[in-house]
Each structure stands twice: as structure tokens, then as C-alpha cells.
Amino acid sequence: MTESKVSKQDLHAILAPHDQQDVLRFWDDLDSAGRDQLAAQIAEIDFDELDQLIAGQDAKRDFAAMAARAMSPPSVKADGSGAAWSAADAIQRGEAALAAGQVGAVLVAGGQGTRLGFDQPKGMFPIGPVSNRTLFQFFADRLIAIGQKYDVEVPWYVMTSDATDAETRQYFEDNDFLGLKPEQVRIFKQGTMPAVDAASGKLLMASKDSLALSPDGHGGTVRALQRNGCLDDADRRGVRYLAYIQVDNPLANLCDPALIGHHILASSEMTTQVVRKRYPMEKVGNVALVDGRVEIIEYSDLPESAANATTDDGQLQLWAGNIGVHVINVDFLNRMSQSSGALPFHRASKKVAHVDQAGNSVDPDVPNATKFERFIFDLLPAAENAFVVESLPSEAFAPVKNAEGATSDTASLAKTAVSDLHRGWIESAGGRVDPDVLVEINPRYALSPGELAKKIPANFEIRSDHYLTFE
Ligand code: UTP
């Protein structure tokens, strides 16, 4: 057996002050690869921080009190009201930034997608209602179309995790980077956080030579962008604004000129796109203004009284629901990546498979563990002039979260939403679509209803499922 680089004694010295030396219980049985793996995982952990999280000593926030003081955030509404500039001004400003090469794209695709139950990375899920294009392809086609329209190469930073990295890289390589230039795409991996036993706070082991680790949440994007040189790459390219989306929303308008324009005209460091909540206790993050700062209060932390509060005109005070679409300044991300406590951790109670003291596998059927995750939207309170842009769900939000059979957020609902939106574009351009057929428009054919209207012939009629594409 070759010698492992780190000795058991060294590791014991790191672990014992935190009472976590138990993770060395199988050390003597491990080969050098197993020892190296475990030692590398231990080296990545900030044990002082973990102690605080386990003891619950990290700064906890009184969301109920915050919610009681919360007001509607500074925003522009879907009808264009609320801002000192017009929607047309915003589009023009956003287009100028795109054409000047000041915009980059970030896609977060590191989640484990447990609810969907798809055994590959979620980005590889076929979502095109007619084309069966994957989620990754949806966004790649948009970036190609944007690149062609504004004559630029938009850099694309794609975040993966241990759970999705290898397959995602293989998929991009096998598919010629989905039509993008390889140097335009930078795939980078987010960090991990260990899961601990909910009762004892002890680190759980996934196997004898590995801790039970999971991705550190989409808030891990900040550190991962910085660590992997993406922020430097953006700086080198002259990119000032990053358009951020999550992989599971095929209607996400990546690099939307209007959203980027509103962000710039508001002199905002971080702007978030929202949809109007349909009812007070809807299960979304509530974007609110608290003590002069934009914050997101999760539905689970929102008391009913605050959820029901209305403004003078009878509208919900907390009307803005988070959809995970943001524009963030590169400078701001650079600043935040330097500050270790910039983003708090959130706890989640989960079922985590592990090996017990004796090395037997345990697959719990009730939550046994605490996981820790950071959320990207916790950047909002630190951002200067954080701003909110309302969009219509039919144009911007169709999340793919749940397996078929669920009542919301399934792939078939998302496909219908894509087809309904594109049907509307065709009809507004004077075309006709038979009821009950599916339609889909590739952004390389038309990025907007206006572009479509210039392309389709008079008396355009669709009688069976139809895909308008560029070929
Ligand atoms: P969700 O919070 O919906 O999680 O992620 P998920 O992993 O996709 O699904 P479940 O909860 O296991 O069913 C929202 C977005 O954030 C990304 C996901 O890939 C998705 O695009 N994400 C989430 C990450 O990139 N990393 C994470 O650690 C967590």
C-alpha cells in the first residue's frame, strides 16, 4: 500500500478540537486513494464555522419581525409603471450593453434535482414541446441568437457540482458545445458542505472513505465564480453585468435586454426579476424592502398577518415572488467574494444515506440529517440600489421541479407553457394555430414576437405540432 500524503495524527489534530475525530474510524482499513480522498474532504471544511452552525450560533434573523416592517420593494411593474424611465429606454440601454460586450451569462446547474427524479443532470432534460431540445440547449440557442443579433460573443459560465459535473462536461463535448464556441463556455464546479447527524451534530459518512457531502447551494456561485477564475475572465473581457438564471426554467429569458437595461438605469448592483404572487401565502420567496434594504423572506418564514398586509390601493404589500433570475454586477461579486460571511447558511432537514459506526449502510426513511446551503438572493441586502423588475409568469417562469403527477411545476406543464407563449406570438403576428397542437419557436428563428412578425408569411397557418427553427 502506498503512503497517503497526510497522516492520521495530522487529521486527528484538526478534528479532535471539534469532536469530529470519529470520521477516522475506518482509516486503518482504507487504501491510499481512500485516505487521500477523505483527507482532501476534511481540508475543505471550515471547522470553526461548522461548529457555529451546529451549535446554532450563527447570526439568526427574526423573519417575523422583519416581515412586520416589510414594504413593497423599489420596482418597475410589468405595465412599465414605477420607474423614472420607459420600457423602451430600458430595452435600448440593455441592447447597448449587450452590443458593447458588457454582459455575460451565468447558469446554475449544480442542484441534485431530487424532486424531478431524472437520473442525469437536469440541464439534460428534454423540454422542447416539439423539438425535445434539452434545457441546456434552450439556453445555448438563446445565447447564439443574442450573439448573432448584437454581434458579440457572450461568455457563458455554467456551474456544476460533484453530482452533475462529469456528465455535463461530457454532454457539452459530445454535442460540440451546443453550437457555441468552446472558449465561450466555462464549466466550473461549486463547493460542497458536509451533512451532519441531526441529533448529535457529528459528520455523516457516505462510505468508509467519504464524508456525506452535498452542493453548498446556489449561493455557492459567488465563491465558485471567484475561485475558478470566472470573475477574472469576465473582467478581462470587459463584462460588467452577469445575467444569472437557474437551469430548471425553460422560459428564463437569459440576457433579456429589458431586464439588463432596468438594472443599469436603476444604478443597481443586483436586480431581480419577479412575478406577482397569486395569493398571499404562495410558496415563493417574497422580495421586500426591510429597513431600506431589499431582502427575500421565504414563504416558510412569513407570518400570515404580514402575507395579508395590503397597501393603500388594496394591493398586497408583499406581492413580488422570486423566480431566481437576476442581473448582478461583476464588481459587486468581486467585493462579496472577498467577505467570507457575506452569505448566511440556511439549514434543511433531509434524509441522508450513510454508514453507521460499524460500517453498515443506512438508508433512512425519515429526515436524519441537517444540510447547510447558501442562497444567491441573500446578496440582495448588500447590493446598492437593489431593484425589482416584474414579469408575467406566462413570459418568464415555468419551473421544472416535480415528477409527473404533481399538481405544479412538472415538465409537461412547462412544455405547455412554452407552447402557449409561442402560440401567442404566432397569433399576434397574424398567424393561426389549430387548437390542441403544440408549437415551439427556436430563439435563433425569432427572439421576440416582433422578430417573428417580420418572418412568418401572411396567412400563416399551423395544423399539426410545429417547430420553427433556423435550419
Ligand atoms: P433547487 O433549490 O430547486 O434544487 O435549485 P434542485 O437541486 O434543482 O432540486 P431538488 O430540490 O433537489 O428537487 C434551484 C436551482 O439552483 C441550482 C439548481 O441546479 C437549480 O438550477 N442549484 C441548487 C445549484 O446550482 N446548486 C445547489 O447547490 C443548489
State pLDDT tens for residues 237-261: 999 999 999 999 999 999 999 999 9
**CA 223–ligand 1 middle distance (angstroms):** 17
What lies within 8 Å, CB to CB, of 88 at 6+ separation is none
Q: Considering the domain boundaries, does residue 144 fall inside one?
A: yes
pLDDT band at 57 (very low <50, low <70, confident <90, very high): confident
Considering only CA atoms, which residue is closest to atom 5 of ligand 1?
A: 111
Q: How many helices (H) and strands (E) does the chain have?
A: 15, 23
Strand partners, 197: 369
Same-domain pairing of 394 and 413: no
Same-domain pairing of 320 and 387: yes
CB neighbours of residue 320 within 10 Å: 28
CATH (domain of 236): 3.90.550.10
Predicted confidence (pLDDT) per residue in 32-42, tens digit: 999 999 999 99
Same-domain pairing of 383 and 264: yes
Torsion sign, CA atoms 180, 246, 398, 319: negative
> Which ligand 1 atom is at minimum distance from the Cα of 112?
7
Least confident of 90-99, 235-244, 412-421, 455-464: 455-464
Same-domain pairing of 341 and 357: yes
Same-domain pairing of 346 and 437: no
> What grid cell was written down for 422?
409561442
Considering only CA atoms, which residue is closest to atom 2 of ligand 1?
A: 111
Q: Considering the domain boundaries, does residue 433 fall inside one?
A: yes
Same-domain pairing of 383 and 406: no
CB 380 within 8 A of CB 223: no
DSSP code for 372: E
**CA 7–ligand 1 middle distance (angstroms):** 36
Q: Which residue segment(s) compose the domain that 450 sits in?
A: 402-471
> Which ligand 1 atom is at minimum distance from the Cα of 249?
21
Same-domain pairing of 113 and 165: yes
> Which ligand 1 atom is at minimum distance from the Cα of 215?
28
- Check whether 471 has a pLDDT greater than 80: no
Q: In the listed set 401, 429, 453, which residue is the last one of a domain according to the structure?
A: 401
Same-domain pairing of 387 and 409: no
pLDDT band at 49 (very low <50, low <70, confident <90, very high): very high
Predicted confidence (pLDDT) per residue in 328-358, tens digit: 999 999 999 998 678 999 999 999 999 999 9
* The pLDDT value given to residue 3: 62
| Residue reference for cell 436586480 | 271
Same-domain pairing of 350 and 368: yes
Same-domain pairing of 373 and 288: yes
Measured from CB, residues less than 6 Å from any atom of ligand 1 are: 108-115, 122, 159, 161, 190, 215-218, 220, 246-248, 401
How many structural domains are present in the chain?
3
- Report the DSSP pairing between strands 466-468 and 439-441: parallel
Write down the H helix ranges in 131-287. Answer: 135-150, 165-174, 220-227, 230-237, 257-265
* The pLDDT value given to residue 460: 96
Pocket test for ligand 1, best of 158, 248, 299 (most atoms within 8 A of CB): 248
Same-domain pairing of 332 and 425: no
Mean pLDDT of all residues belonging to the chain:
96
Tell me the three-class secondary structure of 56-79, residue by residue: CCCCCCCHHHHHHHCECCCEECCC
CB 163 within 8 A of CB 215: yes
Q: Where are the beta strands (DSSP E) in 171-240?
A: 185-189, 192-194, 196-197, 205-207, 210-211, 213-215
* The pLDDT value given to residue 59: 74
Same-domain pairing of 183 and 306: yes
Pocket test for ligand 1, best of 218, 221, 247, 299 (most atoms within 8 A of CB): 218
